[in-house]
Amino acid sequence: MAQPLQMDAEFLELRTKHPFIIARGGQSDYRTMWVRVRDADGHEGWGEAAPSRFYGETAETVLAALNVYAAAMPADPFDLEETERRWEGMLRINASARAALSAALHDLVGKRLGVPVYRLWGLDPARAPRSTFTVGLDTPERMRLKVGEAAEYPILKIKLGTERDVEILRTVREATDKEIRVDANCGWTVKQAIAMLPVLAEFGVTVLEQPLPPGEIPGLAAITRRATIPVIADESCRTTEDIPPLVGAVDGINIKLAKCGGLREALRMIATARAHGMIVMVGCMIESSLGITAAAHFSPLVDIVDLDGAALLASDPFVGARIDGGQVSLPDGPGLGVRKR
């Protein structure tokens, strides 16, 4: 009988150029996990888990979950659908740990076949929309500085959900005439969000992400009805089953591998959202180019790309997909096409 694939995992210590601050706090140091699966012929597939406390994960819970999932490693990496279902049945949460394994299996499959993952899916990488680049919360002086540092990126994303949202928007708008999208990261009430809509319009904001905490679907619907720009659910939408209740309440959903738990689930979310005529966005956590590249492979299928997680790092341990000048460029090597720096 064929041997199950072997798995190794290693912590990655990442540091952002600036403290990355959003409505619920922030930090500069992030711990993710590099997962490798290996077949009997020595082929390796790689993936990264980028755990978020908001979704109940830390690097330590990722390691514990990986040890559980390791007991159900497939012998055949092509057994993707069944394997992801099996892992999900073992531990329903721990999405980032499963996402790393899913990416690693897809990487291994691509390497065995000698083709990039995007080609396995029949996608044209030139169709990926341009990525935003996030300017994190800071003092007005430092935000002006960061806008200057982001000169190469044509679309900026601004984190809101604070006491000084209007000042933040004004600061950024005075510093640039680029397209601005905003993310309130659950930081508003319905009343605050509705009061902010004319302000967003005044400053020419084009997208509003997650104004309310998850679960407040009627509130989201009230905001979307009044908004003149698309409202996108992020924290309110983790997996496919979150989508039907959001239909009509928001214009679109933000898919992240660390929320949905794998590449196949991400594709299911895209298909489900499309069936409901929704806008599809892909986002990320603070993670290296390894994790970003896994998400970048399905970016030709989405409308809005926010894959700046590795671009925000002081140093990136991997080389993979890039967002130079905002343009997503996918590596053309087999599998994910990622290598160690």
CA atoms of 200 and 178, how far apart (whole Å): 14
CA angle 104, 301, 217 (to 5 degrees): 95
Binders in 17-56 for Mg ion, by CB under 5 A: none
Report if residue 287 touches Mg ion, rule: CB under 5 A.
no
Binding residue count for Mg ion, defined by CB under 5 A: 3
Write down the least CB distance from residue 234 to Mg ion, Å: 4
The residue type at 322: R
Write down the least CB distance from residue 171 to Mg ion, Å: 20
In this complex, which beta carbon is closest to Mg ion, that of residue 138 or of residue 209? Answer: 209
Write down the least CB distance from residue 29 to Mg ion, Å: 20
Q: Which stretch binds Mg ion (CB under 5 A): 84-92, 138-146, 230-238, 328-336?
A: 230-238
Report if residue 234 touches Mg ion, rule: CB under 5 A.
yes
CA atoms of 88 and 61, how far apart (whole Å): 15
- Which residue's CB comes closest to Mg ion? 234
The residue type at 112: R
Binders in 149-208 for Mg ion, by CB under 5 A: 183
CA atoms of 101 and 276, how far apart (whole Å): 29
In this complex, which beta carbon is closest to Mg ion, that of residue 234 or of residue 265? Answer: 234
CA atoms of 134 and 152, how far apart (whole Å): 12
Write down the least CB distance from residue 109 to Mg ion, Å: 30
CA atoms of 32 and 205, how far apart (whole Å): 32
| 3 state SS of 316 | coil
Write down the least CB distance from residue 266 to Mg ion, Å: 16
Report if residue 216 touches Mg ion, rule: CB under 5 A.
no
Report if residue 107 touches Mg ion, rule: CB under 5 A.
no
In this complex, which beta carbon is closest to Mg ion, that of residue 57 or of residue 107? Answer: 57
Report if residue 308 touches Mg ion, rule: CB under 5 A.
no
Q: What is the greatest pairwise CA distance in the chain?
A: 66
Element (H, E) at 49: strand 44-49
The residue type at 37: V
CA atoms of 118 and 140, how far apart (whole Å): 41
Write down the least CB distance from residue 185 to Mg ion, Å: 6
Q: Under the rule (CB under 5 A), what is the footprint of Mg ion?
A: 183, 209, 234
